Structure 1
Amino acid sequence: MRKPAGWIAAVTAAALVGAGAITYAVAEDGGADTSVPSADSADAGFARDMAVHHQQAVEMSYIVRDRTTDEDVRRLAYDIAQTQANQRGMLLGWLTLWGLPKVSSDPPMTWMGMGDMSDGEDGALMPGMATDAEMRKLGTLNGKAAEVFYLQLMTDHHKGGVHMAEGCVAKCAVGVEKRLAQGMVDAQESEIQLMADMLKERGAKP
């Protein structure tokens, strides 16, 4: 069953409003606690890794917007790109405020105890991320084929993102970051269901 376009817009609007509320909360948290996380903390690791994870989602979403004329897919892709670009800016902004590096010599996911599980093969740096070959393939497809491949890639991408965000909810110490992570879990789980419906409409599986 096709979701109305307004439904997608409403979900994204709610996510962006939530992001604004989180921005205000940074000041509140900062006023209550002047300590900052260490460079090897879960807070810093999540901020660095999720910023990279989000960047690929933004790139993937803009690729598919140019490969299809389907308004539902193009709107979803735009919404994901805008939301994740906004969140990425917040994560990098916190690292700047904390005076911490935006890159680390440790393997991705080390803060979750999974550094040795990131094989890095062909660009797949973290769980759910597309490989370089998959990103190139997406850029060669058009129409329904591009829609299906994007929805499949983004479903896996969101599942990996949810896993990481749940890790921050469990391990991060900064309250505002934990709240952002929980918001990511809620929003991306909803989008996973939406994408499953969109794939079903196209006769494809996640």
Structure 2
Amino acid sequence: MTRGHRWLVFGAVLLLALGVGAGLLIGRDDRTADAAAGPVDVGFSQDMSVHHAQAVDMAITEITGGADPAVRNLAFDILTSQQNQIGRMQGWLTAWGEPLLPTGGYMGWMSHDGHEGMAGMGAATTMPGMADGADLAALRQATGAARDVLFLQLMLRHHEGGTDMLVAGAEHAETGYVRDLARQMLATQKSEGELMTRMLRERNASPLPLR
């Protein structure tokens, strides 16, 4: 590992720690203890923390090894925004006295909100759009332009896979600050998705099918 690469890794890890810490402070300052969090608030915050954590991991991989400054800049934006949002959600969960991570599977909370296609369903073992171990290994092993393209493909699919959860949180969370954050995430990820689609087209690459 070169000195420059080591500094990139160090900087990305430092930004991660600072962003999560700042988010925790903001989350604990949302007067969460005064609000009655329902199953959607709790489930959304737990599951989206996990979903975001993988996006942050992929963004760090791109920042520390991608070739295209434009793609690395996008990865930096995703890293800084989503790590802060993780901190906020973890701060809420702490204030509510709830586990920081989901237990017993994912997305079971969506059956509580009457969300179309989810009512009556139990918890899932994975969430839509998530990269698997082989995907993450391929991203780490790719170099140069190949890493840029794979990052865009994986992150676009990741964003698309989280849309239903964001919609459910935005429409059915009982606390206003959870609804507001979900709406902010929806707007940001829609804009980023359009940008990634355009970037892939410019690189003669296609989006991955959602799974």
TM-score of Structure 1 vs Structure 2, range by shorter chain: 0.7 to 0.9
d(CA) in 2 for partners of 1:25 and 1:179? 16
* 2:175 corresponds to: 174
* Alpha-carbon displacement from aligned partner over 1:153-203 (angstroms, at most 9, x marks no partner): 100111122221101112210001100000100000000000011101100
Cα contact 1:169–1:179 (8 A) shared by 2: yes
The change in CA–CA distance for 1:26 and 1:179 in structure 2 (over 3 A counts) is farther
- Which amino acid is the alignment partner of residue 140 of structure 2? G
> How far off is 1:69 after superposition?
2.4
Aligned partner of 1:132 in structure 2 is: 133
Equivalence for 1:36: 36
* Alignment partner of 1:84 out of 82, 85, 88: 82
Can you list the C-alpha shifts for 1:72-115, whole angstroms capped at 9, x where unaligned?
Answer: 01110011011000000000000001111113432101011356
How does 1:23-62 map onto structure 2 within 5 Å? 23=26, 27=30, 34-38=34-38, 41-62=39-60
Call closer, same or farther: CA 1:92–1:154 in 2, change over 3 Å.
same
Point out the more displaced range, 191-200 or 161-170. Answer: 161-170
Aligned ranges 1:104-183 → 2 under 5 Å: 104-113=102-111, 114=118, 116=122, 118=124, 120=125, 125-183=126-184
Tell me which amino acid in the other structure corresponds to 1:102: L
RMSD (Å) for aligned C-alpha atoms: 2.4
* In 2: Cα distance, 1:201 partner to 1:156 partner: 17
- Equivalent-residue separation in structure 2 for 1:204 and 1:103 (angstroms): 35
Q: 1:76 to 1:159 in 2, by over 3 A?
A: same
- Once structures 1 and 2 are overlaid, which stretch shifts more, 156-165 or 41-50? 156-165
Q: What is the alpha-carbon distance in structure 2 between the residues aligned to residue 62 and residue 190 of structure 1?
A: 20
Cα deviation code 1:8-39 (max 9, x no counterpart): xxxxxxxx9xx99xx49964x65xx924225x
Q: Is the 8 A contact 2:46 2:101 kept in 1?
A: yes
User: Residues 98 and 193 (structure 1 numbering): CA distance in 2 closer, same or farther, change over 3 Å?
Assistant: same
Cα drift, residue 116 of structure 1: 4.4
Letter in 1 for 2:163: V
Amino acid at match of 1:205: S
Instruction: Identify the range of structure 1 (97-106 vs 190-199) with the bigger mean alpha-carbon deviation.
Output: 97-106
Equivalent residues of 2:40, 2:110 under 8 A apart: yes
Instruction: Identify if the C-alpha distance between structure 1 residues 86 and 24 changes in structure 2 by more than 3 Å, giving closer, same or farther.
Output: closer
State the 1:117 CA deviation: 6.9
SS in 2 for 1:139: helix
Percentage identity across aligned positions? 40
Shift of 1:143: 1.2
Alignment of structure 1 residues 179-198 onto 2, 5 Å:
179-198=180-199
What SS does the corresponding residue of 2:141 show, helix, strand or coil? coil
Change (3 A) 1:35 1:24: closer
The one-letter amino acid of 2:47's match is D
Q: Which runs of 5+ in 1 are unaligned?
A: 1-15
Amino acid at match of 1:105: T
SS in 2 for 1:191: helix
The aligned length equals 178
* CA deviation map 1:20-66 (0-9, x unaligned): 9xx49964x65xx924225xx01000000000000000000111122
